[in-house]
Amino acid sequence: MLHRTTFGDPKNVGNVLSREEANLLLTDWVKNERLQLHMKQVAWLMKCWAAEKEEMQEADQWRWEMAGLLHDADWDQYPEQHCIKIIEELEARNIDPEIIRAIASHGPNHFGVEPITKMDKMLFAFDELSGLTHAYSLMRPEGYAGMELKGIKKRFKEKAFAASVNREEIQDAMSRAGVELESIMLFIIERQGVVK
Ligand SMILES: [Fe+2]
């Protein structure tokens, strides 16, 4: 639990890391390649959503992408301080409070911070569901290629498959975001294969 409700400083709105700085932070802090891949996949989905569904310009697309890219940055080396360490780091670097807030609220049932903005809600929605689609891609010889909605829906119902992926949390994330589970599944499987 973070026991906080405000994040960052409003005067820092619009402040971002450059792509190089963000990538450096990612590779510095996250040595686990699987986790790095997960973070890149969520980042890509956030960018696609911002561009396609929110029709945002490049600067805003990057803010969404950056939130995805760094949301689990402290999980590898600072598991005891998960979600605390990265928030403090981004606050110290005077980063846009909306990005920090999105990261802080990506696990409302764990960190106690409610997702409020669309960025918050989509980060929460993509986080666990993309974990499920990725687990499914690993058991398919062709990976993401040709993945169909009915296949991922079946895996979603099989509680033993990727058992660590909490189905109730996914449903919770979808209803908070006001999106249909199936439409987000489709959105993911049509784009996720791009990030290897
Ligand atoms: Fe995550």
pLDDT digits over 41-68, tens only?
999 999 999 999 999 999 999 999 999 9
Residue where the block lists tokens 């996914």: 170
Distance 106 CA to ligand 1 centre (A): 8
* Distance in Å, CA 107 to ligand 1 centroid: 9
Cα(75) to ligand 1 centroid in Å equals: 9
How much distance in Å is there from the Cα of 141 to the middle of ligand 1? Answer: 24
* Alpha carbon 12 to its chain's center: 22
Which residues neighbour 25 within 8 Å (Cβ) at sequence distance 6 or greater?
A: 17, 70, 73, 89
| CA separation for the pair 33, 36 (Å, rounded) | 5
Angle at 121 between CA 83 and CA 136, to 5 degrees: 85
pLDDT at res. 43: 97
38 CA from centroid of ligand 1 (Å): 7
| Three-class SS state of 145 | coil
Q: Got the DSSP string for 100-124?
A: HHHHHTS-HHHH-----SHHHHHHH
- Rg of the chain's alpha carbons, rounded to an integer? 16
- 127: CA distance to ligand 1 center in Å? 5
79 CA from centroid of ligand 1 (Å): 13
Number of H helices, E strands in the chain: 10, 0
How close is the Cα of 91 to the center of ligand 1, in Å?
20
pTM: 0.96
* Distance of CA 36 from the midpoint of ligand 1 (Å): 10
Q: Is the pLDDT of residue 194 over 70?
A: no
User: Is 42 in contact with 123 (CB distance < 8 Å)?
Assistant: yes
pLDDT in tens, 75-92: 999 999 999 999 999 999
If you measure from the C-alpha of residue 10 to the centroid of ligand 1, how many angstroms do you get, rounded to a whole number?
A: 25
Cα(154) to ligand 1 centroid in Å equals: 22
Of the pLDDT bands very low, low, confident and very high (cuts 50, 70, 90), residue 193 is low
Q: How far is the CA of 188 from the centre of ligand 1 (A)?
A: 15
Q: Tens digits of per-residue pLDDT, 11-35?
A: 999 999 999 999 999 999 999 999 9
Write the CB contacts of 161 (distance below 8 Å, at least 6 apart in sequence): 135, 136, 155
Q: What per-residue string of b and e applies to 89-113 under the rule 16 or more CB within 10 Å gives b?
A: bbeeeebbbbbbbbbbbbbbeebeb
Q: Hey, what amino acid is at 102? A: A
Residue-wise pLDDT tens digits, 94-129:
999 999 999 999 999 989 999 999 999 999 999 989
